[in-house]
Structure 1
Amino acid sequence: MIFKRAKKNTIPEPITVTLPQIKQAVRQFEEDMPASVNRTVLIMEDKSIDLSRLKRYLGGVPQQKFYMSRETYEIFEEADKLVPYYLDLVQSAVDHYISDTGKLPLIEDAWLPEVHYRLLHSERYLTETPPFPLYITQEEMMLTHRAEHFE
């Protein structure tokens, strides 16, 4: 009788990927899924992306963490992990404010369409204030943290 040696349970080496590679893998994942499934299924509770589900597109599981906004689908590296949290929080507040008042919650006389946090907070639409400005874009009134978006 011949016995085969059992394979050792080896943990695959983590890979290093770039932000553009993650974005491409997320797009490919969504394209391969049925129409009823979108990329938000990849978002875990802490806004991080479940990278194990992208393994086949990346050739392994990355050692870094990446984060995604559920509202804007924008993807961020570890250094910017708070951005998707605040994008989602403020986007929801802005949407409710617009729905209730028909107005945009913008700081008056600002040179960019910056969200007026104090207004949203005083009207009880916002419970936390982001430590950086967010802006309302013309595209479907979505938020961005990038001032250069308006240049």
Structure 2
Amino acid sequence: MITCNLSFICPKTWTELTQTEDLLTRYCDSCSQQVHWVDTQEDFDQAAADGKCVAFESQGTPMLGFPDGIGQEPILRIEMQVFSAKQLYFLKRELYRGFTFNEIKHLHDGRSSEIVMDLHEMRELAQRLSELDIKNQIITD
């Protein structure tokens, strides 16, 4: 049995994730993260130390989430890209309140931007960004 604390419990199920070549790893299209199936406490603890999302069985129920105990503060990276009007409006409303639309466009013209925030909020924001086809990723190391 795995004893743990999760800082984020994912609403997805293992079967909703995209299969990869590794049978114990799946990809989440919502948050753009790989999710690793763990069977032992040792595997869970290692995944937590590595800052990985995990899936495991707890009292007969499959659980997905992000373990507590990450050594480094995670960063949300919004990749360099050209934004639609809808995407720009979302970014201005959610992240760049004091910026003009042109300033937001120029921020992402030649580089990615990185944001540090509460992990739970970051996961929710990453999912909303992905739903709007805004390329992003959470970096934990």
Considering the TM-score relative to the shorter chain, is it more than 0.5?
no
TM-score by length of 1: 0.20
Q: TM-score w.r.t. structure 2 length?
A: 0.20
Richer in strand (by share): 2
More helix, by proportion: 1
The answer to which structure, 1 or 2, has the higher relative contact order (CA under 8 A, 6+ apart) is 2
Larger Rg over CA atoms: 1
